[in-house]
Structure 1
Amino acid sequence: MPKLLSFLALLALAAPLRAEEPGAPLRALQALDQRVATIGHRIALANREICPKVEPVPGFSIHALDQYDPKARKIVAATFGFTDTPVVLLVAPGSAAERAGLKVGDRIAAMAGQTLAAAPSKKRSYARIKAFEERLESLLAQGPVDLIIAGDGQARTITLQPETGCASRVQLIPARRLNASADGTYAQLTTGIVAFAKNDDELALIVAHEMAHNILGHRARLDAQNVSRGLLKTFDGSAGKIKVTEKEADYLALYLMARAGFDIGAAPGFWDRYGRAMGPGFLSDGTHPGRGARMEAAKRAIAEIQAKQAAGQPLVPELPVTAS
């Protein structure tokens, strides 16, 4: 699901704004969001059998005028067709949402009999979207959910069927830096690192790595160990504990990728390019494996997976996939 976006950040990250296409930067970001969400959805569904926790995966995201800077709302409304209802931002291919007939740009007037129309807040707020996501997840946990889609003079009703996947959502964050992180619930990727990925296989590696952190419960484990994430991490042993979780996420990510049909052979080359781009400073605090070590570990995991594929064995990681 998309996080609260700064319109100024969108403009800074997108292509130069042209007078004849004032909404082009927003459309460009929407396309990136669609790409990341599609990969995350594919990984979540393909790995639900090995994930310790699953959750409803509706396969679409919405946005509302509330979440945008009031100064930018005129151009946002014109670009996405906002009125007083949330609008579908993206739909993942092959998802329950796509099968139900939901389309990008659909205006959702009601969910399970409750109207969603409301005047946008005067200040930028993500509360409306958060409430929608939480209620939708709760309803899908109980069964099918009816959505009423507003039309030009005639509304239509679609029924969203429950579908589960690994419990890790994916977010796109507008930022130039090459970064990705996991907070236990969301796998977050910057637009900078999405652009850095040469293809969807490399992007899937990044998404899978952060999802692996959430699947393995790394945030909770490190918190329970009182791990420092600031300057003290290099002196109190915290760096080594963080490094262990990075190695585990690197390993599990390749299984998540393989089970979802992505090319795991992209991993060594990506870690090589990424390590060179980040420079030695990134690796000097001891929280991540070195560039060469990361590449070699990827090659070993790839050989392990390929051997199982050749033998017709199920792709179950040797690392226990249980939340800490």
Structure 2
Amino acid sequence: MITLVSVFSVVLIASQAKAADNDTFEAVRAADTAIARIGYRLATTNAPLCDSLQPGLGLVLQTPEQYGLGFRADAVRHFHMDGPVGVEAVLPDSPAAAAGIEADDVLTVAGPVQFKVPAPDVPATTQGLIHLSAQIAALPANAPVEIHGRRNGQDYVRTVTPVPACRTRFEMLISDGYTVQSDGEMVQASSRFFQEYPEDQIAALLAHEFAHNILHHRERMEEMGLSFGMLAGFGRNVRYFRETELQADILSVSLLANAGYDPAAIVRFWQTFGPSHASSIFLSRSHPYWKDRVATIEKAIANLGTARPSRPAVLASREKPLDGDWKALLVRAR
């Protein structure tokens, strides 16, 4: 996985801003790098479990048009982004780092993909980054990629030999709310979690949403014509949503263990978060009770074994239609 991060925070905040200082830009870089690092670790170590792969380079990329017109020039100047794609960060010990690519480099070509310079007056958007992310993700997962870049006005060519990674991009949303979600292609988490929880518990959150993508839950539910949002807690939707939540809980245990995280971090997260934030009437209709989810997770941890990568039986469910039998997966809390 390339770990391309779409900075929605910049689009939402910068569109109203007139200027920004260096501290603001570095805070954005730090936030994007934090979620990219965890996502890259989860995606590369769990590649054997995924049926859709992409090249794992260890790059966090950005584009000028992500920034509002009010301070786009400031962002370009700060990140030395005098080109179509900027390197916001390079993850330590990654293929990109080994190839000598550095933060604040500018990229123009990756393999057969040529990056285009956007019009200078285009409104703030992340669509360009999402598009180029998809282009690079479509490259062979383990074939060398020739990268054309520029640093301090000097052009260079580097060959990066990626590691296979599960095909998912990880995004940071700057928000005071508690938001974590997936859509089959991305995993997105709000910055508030990063302010209040340790890395292993954030990894647990991301692993749960990542599990939804690996199990193709969104696509399978859309094929069944299920309703999302508030309607998820009504009618026939309920049993299928609860089934997918429990499947993701169970698979997330293996995803964490494979990545070298303590799976018990999931339990610690729910013990802190659950009593205050997981008891709304709508959430309780579409999701099993959080204490029962913890009991289910604890059983999955007990069944882990020592083999790595761990491949739980629930992984095979992605080849079958959802049956809605969530009670067969649930362990009741005592």
Q: What TM-score, normalized by structure 1, do the two folds share? A: 0.86
- 1:135 alignment partner in structure 2: 135
Residue 11 (structure 1) shift: 7.5
* Distance (whole Å) between structure 2 residues aligned to residue 111 and residue 55 of structure 1: 13
Residue type of the alignment partner of 1:252? L
The one-letter code of the counterpart of 2:209 is E
Find the counterpart in structure 1 of residue 265 from structure 2. 266
My pick for the range that moved more, 115-124 or 270-279, is 115-124
How big is the alpha-carbon RMSD for the aligned residues of Structure 1 and Structure 2? 2.7
* Partner residue of 1:317 out of 312, 319, 322: 312
Q: Once the two structures are superposed, what CA deviation does each residue of 1:137-161 show, in whole Å capped at 9, x if it has no partner? A: 3444583222222133532221122
Quick check: 1:52–1:322 contact (8 Å CA) kept in 2?
A: no
CA distance in 2: counterparts of 1:71 and 1:201, whole angstroms: 37
**CA distance change for structure 1 residues 302 and 5 in 2, over 3 Å: closer, same or farther?**
same
What's the CA shift for 1:230? 4.2
Measured in 2, the distance between the counterparts of 1:320 and 1:101 equals 37
Compared with structure 1, are the counterparts of its residues 220 and 128 closer, same or farther at alpha carbon in structure 2 (3 Å cutoff)?
Answer: closer
> Could you tell which deviates more after superposition, 39-48 or 148-157?
148-157
* 1:85-124 equivalence runs, <5 A: 85-112=84-111, 116=115, 118=117, 120-123=119-122, 124=124
Aligned to 1:80: 79
Residue by residue over 1:123-174, the C-alpha shift from the partner in whole angstroms, topping out at 9 and shown as x without a partner, is: 2233432343233334445832222221335322211224211222211122
Paired letter, 2:267: P
Quote the residue 1:65 is aligned against. 64
- Within 5 Å, which residues of 2 pair with 1:1-324? 1-7=4-10, 9-10=12-13, 22-112=21-111, 116=115, 118=117, 120-123=119-122, 124-140=124-140, 143-197=143-197, 199-281=198-280, 284-305=283-304, 308-309=305-306, 315-321=310-316, 323-324=318-319
Q: Deviations over 1:13-53 (max 9, x none)?
A: xxxx9x9x812122112212111111111111111112233
Instruction: Give the superposition deviation at 1:210.
Output: 0.7
Unaligned runs of 5+ in 2: 320-334
Q: Structure 1 counterpart of 2:312, which letter?
A: P
Matched residue type, 2:88? L
What secondary structure is seen at the aligned counterpart in 1 of 2:172?
strand
Report the Cα distance in structure 2 between the residues aligned to 1:271 and 1:105, rounded to whole angstroms: 38
Q: CA deviation at 1:211?
A: 0.6
Q: Runs (4+) of structure 1 moved beyond 6 Å?
A: none
Task: Normalising by structure 2, report the TM-score.
Answer: 0.84
Q: Is contact 2:142-2:161 (8 Å) kept? A: no
**Percent of aligned positions with the same letter in both sequences?**
25
Counterpart CA distance in 2 for 1:291 and 1:134 is 35
Distance 2:230 2:282 in 1: 14
Q: 3-state SS of the aligned residue for 1:189?
A: strand
Q: Equivalent residue of 1:205, what SS? A: helix
8 Å CA contact 2:9–2:172 kept in 1: the answer is no
State the SS of the aligned residue for 2:170: strand
The aligned length equals: 313
Per-residue CA deviations over 1:244-263 (Å, capped at 9, x if unaligned) read 10111111001000011001
Match of 1:71, SS state, is coil
Letter in 2 for 1:164: P
In structure 2, the CA distance between the partners of 1:112 and 1:246, relative to structure 1 (3 Å rule), is: closer
Instruction: State the alpha-carbon separation in 2 of the partners of residues 219 and 116 from structure 1.
Output: 30
Contact 2:258/2:309 (8 A) holds in 1: no
With over 3 angstroms needed to count, the CA separation of the structure-2 counterparts of 1:167 and 1:290, relative to structure 1, is same
More divergent stretch after superposition (2-11 vs 140-149): 2-11
Q: Is the 8 A contact 2:76 2:82 kept in 1?
A: yes
Secondary structure of the residue aligned to 1:62 is: strand
